[in-house]
Amino acid sequence: MRRIEIAPSILSADFGDMRGEVKRLERYGADRIHIDVMDGHFVPNLTFGPDLIRSIRGATDLPFETHLMIERPDLYVKRFADAGSDTLIVHYEAKHSVSRTLKAIGKLNKEAGIAVNPETPISSALGSMEYADMLLVMGVHPGFGGQKFMPSALDKIRRAKERGKSGVRIGIDGGINLNTGLKAINAGVDELIAGSAIFDSGDMRKSIKDFKKLCSTAKL
Ligand code: DX5
Ligand code: ZN
């Protein structure tokens, strides 16, 4: 049976209390923490670097999944690995040799993920999966939380499930709420990433509980 995980994105968390936020996420039942790194070049927004990861690493035992929305991930994967990331996700569209970066992540003994933007055909990414442990399908144009889910992502998930390397975890990121999350689960995802749906809900505990319920009761 497929186990579906919920990974809250701390892009929508209180940046002034990140340690408290990840502790709460763990207490309320999150499976992993999704950390969005943006460089102001690959996407038109800036967030945090390895030092933030290092400073919250001790606050939780949950795995850290670091989503690198940066132009040259190849130059930074080691620093993000050393800071305490368990998974490093790099973009297919960034300026690097995707296979070489994924291989380098594997050599650091970290899980390697490849992310695909809405305009990138899934077939392109599937051709670079040799060293990947995870595939992250974007449901929005990366850069900001709170955007509307693009349904074209569902077909990508289906195709990746059918034609992709077996054993690769498929995640969906951007625009996920209980409604779009269910569609993504039915399309075949293993992991839901959600930012605003959890942090802006007014009741984080209930929101995570609802997502967990969705993950466990969806028809698999
Ligand atoms: C978007 C980020 C997402 C973002 C999702 O660039 O990669 O992880 O936090 O936010 P929501 O869930 O609000 O769409
Ligand atoms: Zn993300």
How close is the Cα of 105 to the center of ligand 1, in Å? 23
| Residue corresponding to tokens 């690995």 | 81
Sequence spans of domains, the chain: 5-219
C-alpha of residue 142 to centroid of ligand 2, in Å: 7
pLDDT digits (tens, 9 = 90+) for 28-87: 999 999 999 999 999 999 999 999 999 999 999 999 999 999 999 999 999 999 999 999
Residues 6+ apart with CB under 8 A from 212: 6, 29
Question: 155-169, pLDDT tens digit by residue?
Answer: 999 999 998 888 999
pLDDT value at position 15?
97
Q: What is the position in ligand 1's atom list of the atom closest to the CA of 146?
A: 13
Nearest atom in ligand 1 to 45's CA: 6
Mean pLDDT of 10-15: 98
Tell me how far apart the terminal alpha carbons of the chain are, to the nearest angstrom: 7
Contacts of 192 (CB under 8 A, 6+ apart): 4, 5, 6, 7, 171, 172, 176, 181, 184, 185, 211, 215
The residue-averaged pLDDT of 192-220 equals 93
Parallel, antiparallel or unpaired: strands 111-116 and 134-138: parallel
- Token pair listed for 153: 């992502």
DSSP 8-state class, residue 11: G
For residue 219, what pLDDT band results from cuts at 50, 70 and 90? Answer: low
0.85 exceeded by pTM: yes
From the CB of 36, is ligand 1 less than 6 Å away?
Answer: yes
Q: How many angstroms does the Cα of residue 131 sit away from the middle of ligand 1?
A: 25
* Mean of pLDDT values over 176-202: 97
Q: What fold is seen in the domain 5-219? A: TIM Barrel (3.20.20)
| 66 close to ligand 1 (CB < 6 Angstrom) | no
pLDDT, tens only, 71-112: 999 999 999 999 999 999 999 999 999 999 999 999 999 999
Q: Is residue 205's pLDDT more than 70?
A: yes
